[in-house]
Structure formats: C-alpha cells, structure tokens
Chain A
Amino acid sequence: MDRRPVYLDYNATTPLHPVVKDTMIADLDLYANASSMHEAGRRARARVEASRAAVALLVGAGADPEQIIFTSGGSESNNTVFATMFHLGRKGPRKGIVTTAIEHPCVLNSARWLQSEGFPVTFVGVDDHGRINLDELQAAVGSDTLLVSVMAANNEIGTIQDMAAVSRIAKAAGAWLHTDATQAVGKIPVDVDSWGVDYLTMSCHKLYGPKGIGALYLRKGAPLEPLIRGGHQEHGHRAGTYNNIGIFGFGTAAELALAELPAYAARVTALRNRLRDGIAQKIPKARINGHPVTVLPNTLNVSFPGAEGESILLYLDLAGIHVSTGSACASGSLEPSHVLLATGVGPELAHGSIRFSLGRDTTEAEIDYVLQQLPPIIARLRAMSTIEA
C-alpha cells in the first residue's frame, strides 16, 4: 500500500506533535539531574518548573503550579489517588468509595482492590448516552464516603460528564473528588476550579506528547500518600529522578494543546461529523453510541449490527485504516466492552462496535477514504452472517 495509513485511534495514543518532537530532540542533551545544585542541574530544574507551569495552566491551575505532580502517566496518577484512599480509610472513619461503571480499567481495578481490602465500593450506573446517573450518585454518596471518582470523559464513547454537578454532590457529603481527565485534557477545556475537583489525572501521550509521563493535580490541602517512596522530588509526593525529556515534552505539548484547542476542536468536530453523517447515510442500521452532543469532539463509536467488531477492525486494517473495537475477541477476553454494556447496549451491538478517534492530523480525504472502504466491508460481513442486521 503506498498511501499513508489512516490512523483513527488517537484515543489509544497520539503521535508526537512536530514541535514537541523538535523540542525533545533539541533537549536530549539536557541530561543533568534536576535535583542537582550545580548550574546544569539548575538549568534542567528551571525547565522542569516551566513545564509544570504549562501543565498547570492547561487544567486551570495556573495560579498553583506546585500542585502539579509529575508521574509516569494516567495509570500511576489514578493508582496514587486510590493508594492514598487506602491509607486514609484504614485510619479514619470514612471508607466509602463511589465511582462509575464505565471507568478505565486502571480505576476499576483500583476500586476492586479497595473492595477486596474491605472498603465499601459502589459502581454508579450511566444512562443510554453514558452520562452518570446523578440520582444514583446522590443516593450512593453519604457521610461515610471517602472518595468520589468520576472520569471526565470516556475513552471508548467520548461521553463527557457534568463534573460541576458531580462535585456539588461529592462536596455536600464532604468526600474527596477525583477525576480521571486523561481523555479530556487537550480535547476540551479543563478547569479544576469550575469542576470543583481535588484530584485530576492526566497523561501526556494522549495530547501529542511522549509516553510514560503524566501528572496528577492535587488541590491544596488534599491528602496524598506517595505510591513511590524515595527521594524528596515532587515535595516527597513522588520519588524518582526527574524524567527530564518526558517532562520537557509534556510542557511543550501542554502549551500547544492550550493554544491550539479552539482550532483543534472546530476541525475535528467537523471531520467527526462528516464521518458520522456519512456512515449514517451509507450504512443501514448503523447505531451511534455515546452522547450525541456532550461528547469529545474527536470520538465516534458506532455499532454495526450483524457484523463482528474484530472482523471489521481487521478488514479495515488490511485497507490501511487503524481503529479499535469493543468486541470481546479483540481484547482476548470473552466479555465485550464494559462501557457499552453499561450504557445498555446489548452484547450483540457491543461485539459489533468500532471506535473511530480522530486527531489533529486527520484530513477530509482520510475520512472520505474510510467512507469509501467501510460500507462494502460491513455489507460483506453481513452477507456471511448468521444474524440479521
């Protein structure tokens, strides 16, 4: 195939922004330990702190850059919050953990871990569009609730939660509030104050920066127990020699994400809508999953009744189109997407789901290529299917 592959899996990860890449290459020799007192160390440290400021600004915490803790990514940030709750819950009166049924596995499994340690854990359900059921949340949260953890935007269906409403409920009960904003940061405006969160998770590789670097925003006064103990880096919140190159890349990526956000959102929304409308028009019975409006601008999750997701994915792959699926087969487990099932989509539709996630490099020509390749693939699979579309 001589054409460039059509990459529509930006929610899985993103390529480096060319400017991030250039900065990282230029900075590769800034090897000094940012904790060292000498000139080279101080120079590296200055760059670390500039990056911290840029990351803080991106999530509306510009006034408190020291409230940003660098971690190895979204999984570590989330784990740090749950580990903190483990220590708090063991000592204090509150033990209740309230989260949602559609969280990323690193939150779900952290919550299950606390459950196995005897913490009462509630997984609040969502509606057909993937929006958290606020009445159910209200009922689950009480005076014994230690933590409420609700993801800002879902990685599979893109549905965005009303964090301010979640915050009102959590705060009225005196619980700590965490949000996994890994998919939201860089795609929609994020503001720790208007969202009213105490902890916010982000990951750099979802916003055109390098992998293996992320951050946790920690509101002043919110407790934190280090997951990684050691030196005094990050005010003792997270030990380990500074990951210079990752942190510099994150800083640049954060700056660019903030500056480019309006243009990015307008562009990918238009392309996503073109894809959505094209699919609806060309493929009978395609069903759009997730929220029709309150959704990440780049995400489109569609179920194709009668066609199995992994087969669709691989036929697309052979045509040079890269997507992901909620089908069980692709994950190697026997269960299809827990997110789609939680939104009330039946197993048949969950098995036949495809996630298209667009990005800053996506072009109209690529979308049109998908709209040309996809319909015959679905038609072919449906023709050989035992079940009616």
Chain B
Amino acid sequence: MSDMFAWMYSDVVKDHFMNPRNVFSPDENFSYDAEGITGSVKCGDQMQFMLKIKDDVIEDVRWRTYGCASAIASTSMLSDVVKGMEIKEAYSIKPNDIAQKLGGLPDNKIHCSVLGDKALRAAVDDYLVKTGREGLFRNEGTKVICTCLNITDRDIEEAVKAGARDWEGLQERTKIGTVCGGCKKEGEELLHEYVHIFA
C-alpha cells in the first residue's frame, strides 16, 4: 500500500479534501428522506449521511463528519459515486471500491475510510425501515469470514452492536471459529474494528 503522505498529497485525494463534494450545510435547508450516523467522537471520527431518495434511487446526498482528512476525502468521493445509484447497489459499496478510486489507501488509514460506507448503509437501512422493508438488504454485499459456518462481516457487525466486545463474546453470539478456527485472525481484526466504531 502507498504510504500515508504520498497518498494524502495525490491530486485526487487533495482535491476531495480541499473541495469536499456534497457536504451538508446548515443554511441550505436540504430536505432528505433518510439519514444514518455512525462512529463516535470518542474514537475521533463520526459520520452522518442524509439521502434524498425517489423510486429507490438516490437522487441527492449530503454528509458531514467529525473526522480526519482521509475520512473527508473518501466520503466526498463516496457521495459523488452514490448519486443516481439504486439504494441496493449503494448498499453493497465497499470501502475498498472508494479507496481504488482514490488511488489506493495506506493501511493505517483504512479505519478512517470505513465510516462513510457504514453511515451510508445506516441511512439506507433507515429508509428501508421507513418504507416498511426493514432488513431487506441484510445479505447484500457481505463477505463470508467464517467459511465453515457461513458467518459474514455483517453478522460480526450485528454481534458487536448487540454487545459482543471480545472474541469469546463474539463466539457466544455467532459460533464463529468453532470448527476449523481458520477464520480467527480475520474475524478478530474485524471485531476490533467494529468495537472501535460501534462500542
């Protein structure tokens, strides 16, 4: 992966950091159909997405953040990408897709860039609830982490939101890693990331 400074000063990233797209402005009176917020100030970053949706297509989007430069740049890019997109497709966007568009992301910045898509999904989920379709996309765009038991990253996320804080707690809720154990490393990494974001 590219190093932090080379990345931060690539033309694309710099442009999105200097001129972030679709940033929420209080005076604009942006009216929206759904919103999602994730992260906490305690962790040093928090992200909010607001969506205007028509016929399940994202017509317009605003976001705001208490976050670092990488969060600003990647969310700005994300907000551009999802405009005009069907909510189902938007739901499946991975941080990596955005990172690619920004020319890769340094390892130590991956954490900062995941908030955007999480807040976006929270906003879509909010819309699904409002339109009586709660949980419709639950399995959209997920990645299987534990192949023995078919446990996805989304399952881990849900378990953390439900209170899992360590590997044992996660196993209690999901049974992850109880067959061959080969998923432990990746599972623990995700657990750590989600605890940081959601706990």
Contact indicator B68/A311 (Cβ below 8 Å):
yes
A386 in contact (CB, < 8 A)? yes
Give the complex CA separation of A310 and B71 in angstroms.
10
A residues 310-332 touching B (CB-CB < 8 Å): 310-311, 314, 318, 327-330, 332
Q: Would you call B108 an interface residue if the criterion is a C-beta within 8 Å of the partner chain's C-beta atoms?
A: yes
Using known A-B contacts A329-B68, A347-B41, A348-B41, determine if residue A334 contacts B111 with beta carbons closer than 8 Å: yes
A347 and B20 contact, Cβ closer than 8 Å, known pairs A329-B68, A329-B112, A334-B196: no
Contact between B44 and A384, CB atoms less than 8 A apart: no
User: Which one of A311, A318, A387 has the greatest number of beta carbons of chain B within 10 Å?
Assistant: A311
B65 to chain A, nearest CB (A): 6
Taking a contact as CB atoms under 8 Å apart, the answer to whether A311 and B111 are in contact is no
Interface residues of B in 5-28 (CB under 8 A from A): 8, 14, 17-18, 20, 23-26
Query: Closest CB of chain B to A385's CB: distance in Å?
Result: 5
- A355-389 CB mask vs B (1 if < 8 Å, else 0) is 00000000000000000000000000001111100
B66 within 8 Å of A (CB atoms)? yes
B44 touches A336 (CB 8 A): yes
| Distance of B8 from chain A, by nearest CB (Å) | 7
Asked if B148 lies at the interface with its beta carbon under 8 angstroms from chain A, I say: no
Point out the residues of chain A lying under 8 angstroms from B68, CB to CB. 308-311, 327, 329-330
Q: What is the bound-complex CA distance between A118 and B193, given in angstroms?
A: 32
Name A289-321 residues within 8 Å CB distance of B. 306-311, 314, 318
Q: Quick check: is A104 within 8 A (CB to CB) of the other chain? A: no
Residues of chain A within 8 A of B48, CB atoms compared: 386
Q: With A383-B26, A384-B24 in contact, is A314–B8 under 8 Å at CB?
A: yes
Within A329-356, which residues are at the interface with B (CB < 8 Å)?
Answer: 329-330, 332, 334, 336, 347-348, 351
- Whether A385 contacts B65 by the Cβ 8 Å rule is yes
Q: How many chain B residues touch the partner (CB < 8 A)?
A: 32
- B26 adjacent to A347 (CB under 8 Å): no
Q: Which size class do A's interface residues fall under?
A: 20 to 34
Nearest CB on A from B122, distance (A): 13
Minimum CB–CB distance for A321 against chain B, Å:
15
User: Is B53 an interface position by the 8 A CB rule?
Assistant: no
Give complex CA distance A308, B111 in Å. Answer: 15
* CB-defined contacts of A308 to chain B, threshold 8 Å: 44-45, 66-68
A311 lies within 8 A of B196 (CB): no
A332-B44 contact, Cβ under 8 Å, with A308-B66, A384-B65, A386-B65:
no
Candidates B20, B42, B67, B69; contact of A348 at CB < 8 Å = B42
Q: Determine if B42 and A385 form an interchain contact, defined as CB atoms under 8 angstroms apart.
A: no
Chain B residue at minimal CB-CB distance from A336: B44
In angstroms, Cα B108 to Cα A330, docked, is 10
Contact A383 B108 (CB under 8 A): no
Q: How far is the CA of A330 from the CA of B112 in the complex (A)?
A: 11
Question: How far, in angstroms, from A330 to B70 measured CA to CA in the complex?
Answer: 10
How far, in Å, is A217 (CB) from chain B's closest CB?
A: 37
* Any A CB within 8 A of the CB of B46: yes
Q: Write out the residue numbers on chain B whose beta carbons fall within 8 Å of the beta carbon of A314.
A: 8, 17, 69
What are 10 A-B residue pairs whose CB atoms fall within 8 Å in the complex? A307-B66, A308-B66, A311-B69, A347-B41, A347-B42, A348-B41, A348-B42, A351-B41, A383-B25, A386-B46
Give me the 5 closest cross-chain CB pairs, A-B, nearest first: A329-B68, A332-B108, A310-B68, A351-B44, A314-B69
